[in-house]
């Protein structure tokens, strides 16, 4: 346990001493990357959870018990994550686990949860497999999965540019290919046509070699799932070749982010993606959340921070419904439960443990993401493909 959390827990114990003098804290283990490439995501997870835990504890905790968070660094490495998860389950005796970021860690830690008969929820991993073919009775997901993101984008595309020709450009590795395949499926189901696809190696310096094929197929829309500096090069090269005129660029949620939007500059203008959260959401709940987050951490929450914040409320609602933290009863309570998040009300689908939530299409306007469309949860969720339970 870090000094910060112990201080927090101590403060909570003091403030809630009136209502729950003898109550044991509810311990939530957080296995998240605090060092390495994914540290910025882990930081958002931590802030979201700490903010929610503080607010919940100020109001008397969960069923009269204060929430205590125990953090462990998983280094975005499943082999480290399982070890840390086991430590939290076996030594710290946590009641619940969350925080895993990369889907490999979530899947591996989910198995640890299964073997320890405890429950786990991810607030970040978006690989479809976690709640489809590799679903687990002990794993829940409170954030939107990749399928929901591409469904939301396809929905927006169908509304704004129906039956358009779409060209697909992905990075040439397993995840890049699967995101392109998923969006192509979602878009063609809605009536878009396939103008061709190309896969460029990761870290490509020169995308112009694909521009001939791109122009020849005369698409109205280009979909891309490249990320990081690859997006910078792709979009600036498209701009330099004048190909962005009359072309709508859409992409995966990680394609244009706050990290690379500055480097892309005006070539990012008009880019559209589907996401599960945006700080721009105009509801009073979200405004209150964003204000509290900014006040505490001097920065905007992103979707990881918001979904992690929502997780504490998910757990609170489930424990109060079940009246216990025991695994079997809590699992039953979590299935079908509705809870409040900055994005509004979410519903946990019982069949595959996937949260159903409103999705958003966001567009870059003047260097900032603006919400340009909302897709109701039911339209984006897709089929329940989990057969394990």
Partner 1 sequence: MRDVMLSGRLATRGGGAVRNAVHLLALVFLLLAIAFGVIAWAAGDTFYLRLATEALIFAGLAMSVDILLGYTGLLSLGQALYFGLGAYTSAVVLRDIGPSFWLAMGMTLVLATLAGTLGGFIANRVKGVYFALITFGLAQVVAKVVYNTRELGASDGLIGVPEITIPLGLFTVEAANPAAFFLFVLAFVLLLYAGIAYLMDTPFGRTLTAIRANDRRVPFLGSNPLVYRMLAYVLAANVAALTGALYPMLRGFVSPELMFFHTSGNAVITVIVGGVGTLIGPILGSVLLTALRSVVGTWTEHHLIVIGVLFMLSVILLPKGLIGAIRPWLQHRLTGSETPR
CB 213 within 8 A of CB 199: no
| d(C-alpha 88, C-alpha 263), whole Å | 40
User: What DSSP string describes 297-338?
Assistant: HSS---HHHHHHHHHHHHHHHHHHHHTS--HHHHHHHHTT-E
Stretch of 60-68, 170-178, 230-238, 337-345 contacting partner 1, by CB under 8 A: 170-178
Q: Nearer to partner 1 by C-beta: 128 or 155?
A: 128
Neighbours of 61 (CB within 10 A): 23
Give the SS3 label for residue 240.
helix
Total residue count of the chain as it appears in this document: 389
Residue from 55, 63, 134, 351 touching partner 1 (CB under 8 A): that is 134
Paired tokens of 354? 């996937």
Smallest gap from Cβ 86 to partner 1, in A, equals: 5
Residue 12 in the binding site for partner 1 (CB under 8 A): no
| d(C-alpha 92, C-alpha 328), whole Å | 20
Stretch of 126-134, 265-273, 295-303, 351-359 contacting partner 1, by CB under 8 A: 126-134
Touching partner 1, residues 67-96 (CB under 8 A): 71-73, 77-79, 82-84, 86-87, 89-91
Residue 34 in the binding site for partner 1 (CB under 8 A): yes
CB 277 within 8 A of CB 302: yes
Q: Nearer to partner 1 by C-beta: 70 or 272?
A: 70
Residue 129 in the binding site for partner 1 (CB under 8 A): yes
- Tell me the C-alpha to C-alpha distance, in Å, between residue 207 and each of 171, 183, 213, 385: 11, 21, 11, 37
Stretch of 169-177, 297-305, 307-315, 348-356 contacting partner 1, by CB under 8 A: 169-177
Smallest gap from Cβ 27 to partner 1, in A, equals: 14
Q: Nearer to partner 1 by C-beta: 78 or 382?
A: 78
| Contact partners, residue 255, CB within 8 Å, separation at least 6 | 224, 225, 226, 227, 231, 271, 273
Touching partner 1, residues 228-257 (CB under 8 A): none
Q: Nearer to partner 1 by C-beta: 87 or 335?
A: 87
CB 81 within 8 A of CB 54: no
Smallest gap from Cβ 210 to partner 1, in A, equals: 20
Residue from 59, 115, 215, 370 touching partner 1 (CB under 8 A): that is 115
Residue 2 in the binding site for partner 1 (CB under 8 A): yes
Paired tokens of 152? 């939301």
Residue 140 in the binding site for partner 1 (CB under 8 A): no
Residue from 127, 146, 157, 330 touching partner 1 (CB under 8 A): that is 127
Smallest gap from Cβ 87 to partner 1, in A, equals: 5
Stretch of 173-181, 225-233, 269-277, 299-307 contacting partner 1, by CB under 8 A: 173-181
Report the first-to-last Cα separation within the chain, whole angstroms: 35
Smallest gap from Cβ 166 to partner 1, in A, equals: 24
Smallest gap from Cβ 76 to partner 1, in A, equals: 8
Q: Nearer to partner 1 by C-beta: 286 or 308?
A: 308
| d(C-alpha 39, C-alpha 5), whole Å | 18
- Tell me the C-alpha to C-alpha distance, in Å, between residue 122 and each of 116, 125, 128, 160, 222: 17, 6, 12, 33, 31
Residue from 63, 175, 243, 385 touching partner 1 (CB under 8 A): that is 175
Q: Nearer to partner 1 by C-beta: 67 or 112?
A: 112
CB 207 within 8 A of CB 233: yes
Stretch of 171-179, 231-239, 250-258, 263-271 contacting partner 1, by CB under 8 A: 171-179
CB 289 within 8 A of CB 306: yes
Summarize as ranges the residues that interact with partner 1 (CB under 8 A).
1-2, 34-35, 71-73, 77-79, 82-84, 86-87, 89-91, 102-104, 107-108, 110-112, 115, 127, 129, 134, 173-175
């Amino acid at each position: 346990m870090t000094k910060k959390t112990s201080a927090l827990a101590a403060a909570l114990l003091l403030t809630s001493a009136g209502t729950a003098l003898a109550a044991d804290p509810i311990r939530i283990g957080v296995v998240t990357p605090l060092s390495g490439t994914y540290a910025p995501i882990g930081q958002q997870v931590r802030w979201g959870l700490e903010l929610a835990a503080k607010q919940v504890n100020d109001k008397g905790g969960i069923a009269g018990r204060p929430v205590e968070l125990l953090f462990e660094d998983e280094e975005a490495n499943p082999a480290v994550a399982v070890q840390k998860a086991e430590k939290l389950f076996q030594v710290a005796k946590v009641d619940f686990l969350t925080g895993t970021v990369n889907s490999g860690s979530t899947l591996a830690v989910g198995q640890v949860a299964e073997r320890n008969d405890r429950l786990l929820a991810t607030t970040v991993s978006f690989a479809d497999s976690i709640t489809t073919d590799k679903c687990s009775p002990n794993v829940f997901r409170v954030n939107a999965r990749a399928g929901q993101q591409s469904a939301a984008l396809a929905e927006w595309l169908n509304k704004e540019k129906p039956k358009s020709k779409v060209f697909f450009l992905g990075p040439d590795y397993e995840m890049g290919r699967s995101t392109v395949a998923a969006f192509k499926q979602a878009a063609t189901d809605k009536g878009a046509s396939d103008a061709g696809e190309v896969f460029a190696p990761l870290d490509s310096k020169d995308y112009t070699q694909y521009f001939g094929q791109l122009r020849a197929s005369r698409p109205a829309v280009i979909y891309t799932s490249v990320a990081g500096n690859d997006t910078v090069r792709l979009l600036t090269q498209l701009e330099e070749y004048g190909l962005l005129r009359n072309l709508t660029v859409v992409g995966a949620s990680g394609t244009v982010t706050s990290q690379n939007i500055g480097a892309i500059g005006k070539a990012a203008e008009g880019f559209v993606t589907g996401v599960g959260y945006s700080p721009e959401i105009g509801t009073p709940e979200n405004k209150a959340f964003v204000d509290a987050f900014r006040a505490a951490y001097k920065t905007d929450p992103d979707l990881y921070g918001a979904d992690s914040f929502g997780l504490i409320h998910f757990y609170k609602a489930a424990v109060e419904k079940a009246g216990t933290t025991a695994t079997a009863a809590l699992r039953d309570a979590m299935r079908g439960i509705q809870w409040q998040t900055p994005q509004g009300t979410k519903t946990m689908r019982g069949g595959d443990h996937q949260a159903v939530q409103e999705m958003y299409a966001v567009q870059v306007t003047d260097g900032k993401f603006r919400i340009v469309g909302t897709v109701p949860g039911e339209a984006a969720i897709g089929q329940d493909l989990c057969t394990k339970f």
